[in-house]
Amino acid sequence: MITSPEVLFLILFGGLILGMAVGFPVPFVMLGISMIVGLLGVGPGFFQMMVLRVFETMQNYILVAIVLFVYMGIMLERSGAAERLFSAAHVVLGGLRGGLALAVVVVCTIMAAATGIMGAPVIVMGLFALPEMLKRGYDKALSVGTVCAGGTLGILIPPSIMLVVYGPMAGLSVGKLFLGAVLPGLVLSGLYAAYIIIRCTLKPELGPPLPPEQRAIPWAKKLWMVVTSILPTLFLILSVLGTIFFGVAAPTEAAAIGAAASLALALAYRRLDWETFKESVYRTLKVSSMILLIVAAAFVFTGTFMLIGGGDLVKEALLGLPVGRWGVLVIMMAAFFLFGIFMEWVGIVPILVPIFTPILAELGFDPLWAAILFCVTMQTSFLTPPMAPALFYIKGVAPKEVEFGRHIVMGTLPFIGLQVLGIAAVAFFPQLALWLPGLLK
């Protein structure tokens, strides 16, 4: 057996990095290297402890909400709600400079509050809104950047699945996390919109308004389009978030309400048939299984890390740095950001949150505020190459004339800057994350 925590720490994280670099699936890398290090550092009794840990984790009632929220998002995507929302926003905002880009931000914000996932809004807007913007003469980089940035709001704005996973890891209420993420998400959405307005005002050719003849639609018809597209989706959002915020239901029960409401919405839009239902269930099982497998593997990885004394090692190292408590917080944020460049959030949260939560308490930071700060930081990493998921989602559906480096990467850079402003806003104005949760007390 190896008793040195430093050596075991190096084997554990070195094996994780090497396995991911080679291309092995993340959960199997975490499980495999954890078993090796556990056997070397703890002995055969390690396996029994980890089996009990996994079973205890998977019995957490709140994790059921993951499956239900995934189903809600997938069914909403198949219902055509996003296309209807964009058509309505396109008609209302199309006469403004950058109006179609603003419509994308509005729709992505609404879809984020209705789905809780990132991939669906990026793909749907990439298929539906991006070709329309390019056809109207919009700048390619601005168009792609808007879709990518707007799509990532789904990972932050409730009912974010990332927050559902984060809560149990940090011992925080998922309902309070949802409340804490509302204002930061809206601030980011507002920053995107302000940037588009300023850019298109200074350079109108980046986002020309629709010609008068194409927006000459009677106000009665515009109002009908808005009512029939926005109200049903807002009803779904309120049925989920409203029941949580007002204490009527816990997140798991609210997720069940949302899943049923998304089914009803697809039926009302006449987009529900047996094939759609079957495909939605299949995709839900596929995505949920992946998420829960990674969560279980990450729990084993973190448990191994704690057993070999890694938690104390990191705590002593961070608290011993001559940077003060704010410097330690910045280092933690940098860790979330760097992990986010190379891994999906579902692997990051179960690894880093249990390690950093005790240190946050030692430093006297509010764990709820820190959670939102970390989540906004991770959202930023999803736009940052080389592994930025949003960029590869849009690359898969963008028209051929859209180039990865020139348009996709360069188009997201200004929005990464806006994300940094959002992080600074949450850091310097904690009430953005704490005001709404404080109303529950």
One digit per residue, pLDDT tens: the chain, 441 residues? 666 778 888 888 888 888 888 878 888 898 899 888 888 888 888 888 888 877 777 777 888 888 888 888 888 888 888 888 888 887 788 778 888 899 999 988 988 888 777 777 788 888 888 888 898 889 999 999 999 999 889 889 988 889 998 998 898 988 899 999 999 999 999 999 999 999 999 998 998 887 776 666 777 777 887 788 888 888 888 888 888 888 788 888 989 999 999 999 888 888 888 888 899 899 899 888 888 888 888 888 888 888 888 888 888 889 888 898 999 999 999 999 988 877 778 888 888 998 999 999 899 999 999 999 999 998 888 888 777 778 888 888 888 888 888 889 899 999 999 999 999 999 999 999 999 998 876
Cα(42)–Cα(40) distance, rounded to whole angstroms?
6
Cα dihedral 282, 287, 288, 293 sign:
positive
Cα(338)–Cα(381) distance, rounded to whole angstroms?
7
CB of 160 closer than 8 Å to CB of 116:
yes
Residue 3, pLDDT score? 66
Q: How many CB atoms lie within 10 A of CB 212?
A: 8
Residue 233, pLDDT score? 86
Q: How many CB atoms lie within 10 A of CB 407?
A: 21
If you compute the radius of gyration of the chain from its CA atoms, what whole number of angstroms results? 22
Cα(201)–Cα(4) distance, rounded to whole angstroms?
61
Q: Which long-range contacts (CB under 8 A, 24 or more apart) does 196-204 make?
A: 196/98, 196/101, 196/102, 196/105, 196/142, 196/146, 197/96, 197/97, 197/98, 197/102, 199/98, 199/142, 200/97, 200/98, 200/101, 200/142, 201/97, 201/98, 204/97
CB of 349 closer than 8 Å to CB of 166:
yes
Residue 105, pLDDT score? 93
SS3 of 321, please? coil
Rounded to whole angstroms, what are the CA distances from 275 to 78, 81, 278, 300? 11, 18, 5, 37
Rounded to whole angstroms, what are the CA distances from 47 to 32, 35, 53, 311? 12, 8, 10, 20
State the DSSP H helix or E strand holding residue 417, giving kind and residue range, or none if neither. helix 410-428
Residue 214, pLDDT score? 64
**The pair of three-digit structure tokens given for residue 381, joined into one six-digit string:** 């990493």
Residue 1, pLDDT score? 63
Closest C-alpha among 118, 125, 114 to residue 72: 114
Question: Tokens 């984060």 — which residue?
Answer: 166
**The pair of three-digit structure tokens given for residue 31, joined into one six-digit string:** 């499980």
* Annotated domain spans of the chain: 62-438
CB of 125 closer than 8 Å to CB of 86:
yes
**The pair of three-digit structure tokens given for residue 225, joined into one six-digit string:** 């389009």
**The pair of three-digit structure tokens given for residue 187, joined into one six-digit string:** 């601030």
**The pair of three-digit structure tokens given for residue 303, joined into one six-digit string:** 């448990």
Q: How many CB atoms lie within 10 A of CB 254?
A: 26
Cα(147)–Cα(129) distance, rounded to whole angstroms?
8
- Of the CA atoms within 13 Å of residue 272, those in its CB half-sphere come to 16
242 by Cβ neighbours in 10 Å (0-12 / 13-18 / 19+) ranks as: middle
Rounded to whole angstroms, what are the CA distances from 119 to 56, 126, 238, 245, 300? 30, 10, 22, 26, 27
SS3 of 234, please? helix
